[in-house]
Structure 1
Amino acid sequence: MKLNIKSYKEQLKEWPEAGHHIMAQYDDEKVIVYQSYRPAIGNFAFRNQFFGGPFKLTRMTWIKPNFLWMMYRNGWGKKEGQEVVLAIHLKREAFERYLTRAVYSNYQEDIYETREAWQNAVQNSNVRLQWDPDHDPYGAKLERRAIQLGIRNEEIVQYAKEDILEIEDISDFVAEQYKHVCANNLDALLIPEEHPYIPKDIEATKRLRLDPE
């Protein structure tokens, strides 16, 4: 596995406790995002290093840069249809493009002049944005907010092949770490190392309401 792994307890000391933060593992070339699928889709993506086969390009797909947010959503890979957990090495320029083009799923009166303007933005955008409560390893809500991005239409076509550098199947790693959660042994829990991500686009940073580190 090519992800940088670090103790959950150690990272907890460094992470912001509240506010809007894009928690992610990244470098100059890539940002790691996570998705979970049923075996037919997940195994195809891992074997072929792109999304195809039973993966539908006509449906919106959601990516999450925050590992524990993904674990909350997929039940640590135990939910039906989400057994194959993928770590997607996404081109950083693609992730930046998504953030720049993202439109909120819900009307934000301080960002869009009118509700109609927001609705038009939603119709014309291929990237959707949601902020939700982040969660701890047990699934409890936190004050910190976590981001997820929905991709559709032309963006999903580009995402499926062109935007991806590598796809890793981390299902075994997830299952192994979940044993520590079930045993209430968070001292032993290892997860991908994450830090707050700040977009290069200043306007995107403002629109996303990102809090300073």
Structure 2
Amino acid sequence: MPPQREIRADFDRDTIVVYQAYSPQIAEPALDAQRFVSPFSFHRMTWIKPSFLWLMHRSNWGQKSGQERVLAVRVTRAGWEQALSLAVHTSFAPGVFASPAEWSERFAEAHVHVQWDPERSLRGAGLPHSSIQIGVSRHLIRAFTDEWIVGIEDYTPRVRKIYDFLQSGHADRAKRHLPPERVYPVNGDVARRLLIGDE
């Protein structure tokens, strides 16, 4: 069984893929520009997720209103690791902070938020291990859009194909189209603060 918390992702030596789902009004200009541009909001937090199946659960396979287009956003590992190094949990984590008051102060000042949610199976069931979500605040969002992003790919056709296989009872065929994900290495101090590997 996997550890309670680990990052699983599609990554190579220099980059990592994170997933987001948007309306066509946001997705199409982003695909054209290969970065996020207006009407994408630069004034609020954007959440990035390396787990494909978690986003499929969240967006109902791209069927929720405003989440019809699924984007695979390839970012630099340097940018991703900067985000991890700055991330503060969205709730008090004993062992990371000395007290709820210390956590509250750090959280209020944080430019990056982190939360762990149950990972999802192909059919959306909650699994006993967790998936990481990273919230990039307005203070860092320009670095995300202008410096970290290497490319943006429209995964919507892939999502529809997998969903169609699932709906027609061909789960094995659906699995063959899932993006590859493997354990992403995280160094000791950051892993400790993010509770990676904890039971």
Same fold (TM over 0.5): yes
Deviation, structure 1 residue 52:
1.2
Determine if the alignment matches structure 1 residue 191 to structure 2 residue 178. Answer: yes
Aligned partners of 2:2 and 2:103: how far apart in 1? 30
Deviation, structure 1 residue 109:
2.2
Within 5 Å, which residues of 2 pair with 1:63-74? 63-74=48-59
Amino acid at match of 1:141: G
Q: Quote the residue 1:24 is aligned against.
A: 9
Aligned partners of 2:159 and 2:134: how far apart in 1? 22
Within 5 Å, which residues of 2 pair with 1:5-16? 16=1
Q: What RMSD over aligned residues (CA atoms) do the two structures have, in Å? A: 1.3
Where 2:132 maps in the other structure, the secondary structure is: strand
Aligned partners of 1:142 and 1:166: how far apart in 2? 30
Q: Structure 1's 38 and 166: CA in aligned 2 closer, same or farther, altered over 3 A?
A: same
Within 5 Å, which residues of 2 pair with 1:1-213? 16-189=1-174, 190-199=177-186, 201-211=187-197
Deviation, structure 1 residue 111:
1.0
Q: What TM-score results when the alignment is normalised by the length of structure 1?
A: 0.89
Aligned partners of 1:209 and 1:120: how far apart in 2? 19
Q: State the identity as a percent.
A: 34
What runs of 5+ residues in structure 1 fail to find an aligned partner?
1-15
Amino acid at match of 1:193: P
Aligned partners of 2:82 and 2:194: how far apart in 1? 13
- Superposition misfits of 4+ residues, deviation over 4 angstroms: none
Aligned partners of 1:79 and 1:17: how far apart in 2? 30
Aligned partners of 1:154 and 1:211: how far apart in 2? 29
Deviation, structure 1 residue 154:
2.3
Q: Quote the residue 1:13 is aligned against.
A: none
Deviation, structure 1 residue 38:
0.6
Where 1:129 maps in the other structure, the secondary structure is: strand
Where 1:162 maps in the other structure, the secondary structure is: helix
